Chain A
């Protein structure tokens, strides 16, 4: 495969993986918790490196998973001890992130992680960092990592689809019929954490948030069926990735930045033109009501 094709594949995998998980975050009103996790995962990566002295994907996934869950847990703890939820999220993520940045600077000589890279990602380097097993070149390791995380997410969503659905729609009913609502919550938070860390390398922390939230929010304006929302969201993720890549080629700009911008553009268009929930549709509906009345 060509260099560009690998980058587009990586970007699309990010789009699909984030797009699917993101839908659930939006429906559960947890978008900002995801934003928090995507920041604190930096601390997980640094700690994983300091413990294992390796930049292998598996250590990163474990470290990020643990810190991601810790973030969700700390927010929960602060919230139950009386801190309002938006402030709880704000305090936890900035503290853990600041701690991550300090560790990173303190061990700067030893860690081959650069903060800018972690934040903004460097998808252009992806195709060179390949996975070789037994002398065989198996393609970029990021693709393997993203692929595995996507697979894990899909399996988990497939297995727990109806439990995730009911505990998102009606948590009281869910726990009345015996579904462990807290378990489902932390399951989703783990999915967010590993998704973030897998996407981290290619798009960076902030743009993971864009890929998590924007496609899902767009899909939310286009459909009223959960399964369709997941598909549309994944598709928008891919379109944003490929569109972003070409836009970046044309104007010679950051690929990850342009992926987020294209995603934002798609959202803006949908927000105005969506047949069901768009601004225009609403205006037209309002006009016709007024017309009927007069």
Chain B
């Protein structure tokens, strides 16, 4: 069964479409990169799948059932800038929040949850920062804490919103190895990505998105100049300067 089945999802403000009739099946066990220009609706797609914004039409199924009954199967990494990092709490505490969905009302995270959280921090190379206050972490470290939190959710499908934005080389490496580990465990990961240079290197599959689905498939098949032009419009000069031809699949 497909981990995620998006059928005919439309998001619109009155008449203006933000996402238009998006239909796709996510293949299991793949790393899927989502690329498209600014305002293409990449983050909106994740938010629509997670039910954070209302959709005008369409359905989303996670392993054949609506999201509401499958929350525990889904992990989410929001954009780093979406929260106030001055919040008085430490890294371990933030990662423990990933366990809240499993714990249920009125109960506290237990020893088992703490162990899971510490393990997650270890996986992103942040174990020694467990008790560090989040305001004292660098941008890359904060991003890794967010990833660890998603790991602690112990999900089978992950949605990550721009995890590579503004991170240092070490963090980038850590994220990559983490993504590969998740893939090795048979998990499915959808990553909103902005850097066309690295798409071919990082992702098995690519979803090209600009309000509509332009293409979805194995990166070597869909990440073509042709599709990129369709996605980014005729801004060829932009693509030329941004993109070394060797990064694109030659058709």
Contact = CB atoms under 8 A, between A and B. Distances in A.
A–B direct touch in complex (beta carbons closer than 8 A): yes
Contact of B89 (A179, A220, A225): A225
Is chain A's interface secondary structure helix, strand, loop, or mixed overall? helix
A170 B71 contact: no
B55 interface: no
Interface in B77-110: 78, 82-84, 87-90, 93-94, 97, 100-101, 103, 105-106, 108-109
A176 B50 CA distance: 6
B76 interface: yes
B82 A224 contact: no
Interface stretch (A73-81, A106-114, A141-149, A161-169): A161-169
A51 interface: no
Contact of A170 (B82, B88, B135): B82
Interface residues of B, number: 32
B52 A175 contact: yes
B88 A27 contact: yes
B68 interface: yes
A226 B82 contact: no
Contact of B78 (A173, A178, A225, A228): A173
A224 B52 contact: no
B97 A172 contact: no
A224 B68 contact: no
A133 interface: no
A27 B87 contact: yes
Contacts of A163: 100, 105
A293 to B, nearest CB: 19
Given A169-B83, A169-B87, A224-B88, A176 B76 contact: yes
Interface in A242-273: none
A286 B51 CA distance: 45
A1 interface: no
A165 B98 CA distance: 12
Contact of B87 (A162, A168, A176, A178): A168
A226 B82 CA distance: 20
Contacts of A159: 106
Given A162-B103, A175-B52, A223-B88, A169 B97 contact: yes
Given A159-B106, A224-B133, A170 B100 contact: no
A154 B101 CA distance: 23
Interface of B: 47, 50-52, 68, 71, 74, 76, 78, 82-84, 87-90, 93-94, 97, 100-101, 103, 105-106, 108-109, 133-136, 149, 153
Given A159-B106, A175-B52, 20 more contacts: A163-B100, A166-B97, A169-B84, A169-B94, A170-B83, A170-B97, A172-B52, A172-B76, A172-B82, A175-B51, A176-B74, A178-B68, A178-B101, A179-B100, A224-B134, A224-B136, A225-B90, A226-B87, A226-B88, A229-B88
